[in-house]
Structure 1
Amino acid sequence: MSLSLLAPGVHSLPGAVNSVVLEDGRGGGLLVDTGLDDAHARRLVRALDMAGLTPTGILNTHSHADHHGGNAHILKKFPDLKIFAPPLEAAIITHPILEPITLFGARPPRELQSKFLLAPPSPARLAPEPGLTRIGGVSVELIEVAGHASMMYAVRVGDVLYAADALFGPEALAKHPLTFCADSALQKESAARLGELEGVRVTLPGHGDPTDDLAGLVAANLAAYERTTDAVLAAVRAGAASVDELLARVCGAMDVTMTTAGAVVLNRAVVSAHLTELLEAGQVEMKVEQNRLVFNC
């Protein structure tokens, strides 16, 4: 598959997770997110070859495995490449076991060590702070969009915005009603802040197709995030319950069926994030009852 042109010198490699290639004007390209695994990374390397480009560096927008799982394969071919990521996210990319440990709360069982939750390690370093900067010989604007992950950067070049996972395409929102987040309040703030950007012609979400309707994409994401908050609040109002009990109620209300341990721990984290938001807003309470941590109104 060849690269798709978003603007002069700005390309994407469409996939389950999108990668972005930013030309440096000298035959090189900065890679933004490398996909889930070796298969995506091989497609990315082939696309670079077809375009006559050589990678100059890697920027991972955040530490979820589907955005940096291709790093290791690319480093085998280009061992001198430097990898950049936001604070905290760089540590997880360097030590990926931290992702399933965080989700499970302890050393994760084998089922939670799949490639979807545990990418190969790669030596990441801190990316520059948000704002205008240069990485891999390319001038970019880094925009802090924490919420989906503890830290995350969107990347803007001219009138093209790569929103990473601060925004999802409509199909992704429909497929995953419980949109993953580490901090649901920040997730909403980040999406809303992207909607205030001026002069954006093309927006590429981390999952989904490019669009010229940034405002519409932001509105769809904010509506999805609020639906989850409302579903969690309704679940608590149905009676005091633990996170796992609330997760079951929320999944029932949102027509979500979980069949793997990975899905359970991911969606459990989403419910926990929205519970924290509701706690801080004074809409729910947390207490210990009969050796159980429960939430009620």
Structure 2
Amino acid sequence: MPDLLALAPNVFLFPAAVNSLVFVQGSGVLVVDTGLDEQHARKLLRGLEAQHLTPTAILNTHSHADHHGGNAAFLKRFPDLPIYAPPFEAAIIANPLLEPFYLYGAHPPQALQTKFLLAPASPAQAVESGLVTLGGVDVELIEVPGHASQMYAVRVGEVLYAADALFGLEALSKHPLTFCVDSAAMKRSAQSLLSQGLPSLGGVRLTVPGHGQSTEELPALVAANLSAFERVTRAVHEAVTHASTVDTALTRVCDSLDVEMTNPGAVVLNRSVVSAHLAELVGLGHVSMRVEGNQLLFTGQL
């Protein structure tokens, strides 16, 4: 079982498939993202106990199941523990069926109601971005939409938790179709995090992605993510050189990027990625959209 790793004074990392952060200020202990499920949460709780820390609040950076699936386990131990999230995301965390619902486009079949897409409901409260105090801990919440409709990166002193605005290099390689609901916003958000490292703003020494290892090389991590995002945009553009539906484009993109989908969840997630990049390309005027033969068709512009 991994321990809580000290990143800076009063800042701890619980490294896992989904990273969790713990910020301490006096008697305040803010847990940021509780992981996919009860197993992750139990290990995180044991890590807190080993450090003699009692959580005073939870912040979910966004509503994807792998970042709030552990809330229920925390609430079993601490029923009155407040949970915070961006306003739009808080609505989904409180009504988690909305995640597989919006991915599928209708009430999802059971095959899409797995823990990877449907976490237990949590009574999340909306919190606005900026300098806030949660559970007695002062943090800066930075808007980084794109991967999710609303998402916050979290900064305390010289540590920046980027959530899923940035991915570690291994995650980018393993999952070339980086999930997003707005690819244009995702690129802007990644670029915007560079300003968090400017000396004039106090500087960020250490950046922790939602998935992957922490790094002191924020510009390099941003560059790697932007390159990966643009690679997907190019693949989507090339996939609609000839008129194509979203599903045909998805097949072509997966072939181009050597992605193999083996379950319904992967299909609906990756279909959303392709749709997001198509929307960006349509907005730029690089792809046209029309209805023909009872099909919604996309065609790349030369």
C-alpha distance in structure 2 between counterparts of 1:189 and 1:265, whole Å: 24
Separation in 2, partners of 1:131, 1:258: 39
* Cα distance in structure 2, aligned partners of 1:93 and 1:110: 19
After superposition, the CA RMSD in angstroms is 0.6
- Alignment partner for residue 204 of structure 1, among 208, 213, 216? 208
**Alpha-carbon distance in structure 2 between the residues aligned to 1:109 and 1:55:** 36
- Equivalent residue number for residue 75 of structure 2: 75
Question: 1:6 is aligned with what amino acid?
Answer: L
Cα separation, 1, equivalents of 2:13 and 2:124: 22
Work out whether 1:258 is the aligned partner of 2:261.
yes
The worse-fitting range, judged by mean Cα deviation, of 195-204 and 168-177 is 195-204
Which residues in structure 2 correspond to 1:177-256 (within 5 Å)? 177-197=176-196, 198=198, 199-237=203-241, 239-256=242-259
SS across alignment from 2:12: strand
Distance of 1:293 and 1:14 partners within structure 2: 43
Does structure 2 retain, via aligned residues, the 8 Å contact 1:9–1:25? no
Secondary structure in structure 1 of the residue aligned to 2:265: helix
1:289 CA drift (Å) = 1.0
CA-to-aligned-CA distance 1:93-125 (integer Å, 9 cap, x gap): 000000000000001010100000000001001
Amino acid across the alignment from 1:222: L
Return the letter of the residue paired with 1:171.
Answer: E
Shift of 1:87: 1.4
* In 2, Cα distance between equivalents of 1:72 and 1:294: 42
**Unpaired runs of at least 5, structure 1:** none
| Separation in structure 2 between the aligned mates of residue 55 and residue 68 of structure 1, nearest angstrom | 15
Aligned to 2:5: 4
Residue number in structure 1 paired with 2:37: 37
Question: Which amino acid in the other structure matches residue 75 of structure 1?
Answer: L
Q: Give me the whole-angstrom Cα distance separating, in 2, the residues matched to 1:99 and 1:133.
A: 27
Distance in 1 of aligned mates of 2:138 and 2:46 = 24
Task: Give the TM-score normalised by the residue count of structure 1.
Answer: 0.98
In 2, the alpha carbon distance for the partners of 1:217 and 1:241 equals 33
| Letter in structure 1 aligned against 2:137 | V
Structure 2 equivalent of residue 273 of structure 1: 276
Contact 1:278–1:284 (8 Å) recurs in 2: yes
Give the C-alpha shift of residue 223 in structure 1.
0.2
Q: Which runs of 4 or more aligned residues in structure 1 lie more than 6 Å from their structure 2 counterparts after TM superposition? A: none
Size of the alignment, in residue pairs? Answer: 294
- Distance apart, 1:183 and its partner CA: 0.2
**Percentage of identical aligned residues:** 64
Counting only pairs closer than 5 Å after superposition, residues 8-23 of structure 1 correspond to structure 2 as: 8-23=9-24
- Asked if the contact 1:29–1:136 (Cα under 8 Å) also holds between the matched residues in 2, the reply is yes
**Structure 2 unmatched runs, 5+:** none
Aligned to 1:158: 157
Could you give the per-residue CA deviations for residues 200-221 of structure 1, whole angstroms, max 9, x where no partner exists?
1000000001100000000000
What's the CA shift for 1:131?
1.4
Letter in 2 for 1:257: E
Q: How far apart, CA to CA, are the structure 2 residues paired with 1:33 and 1:140?
A: 14
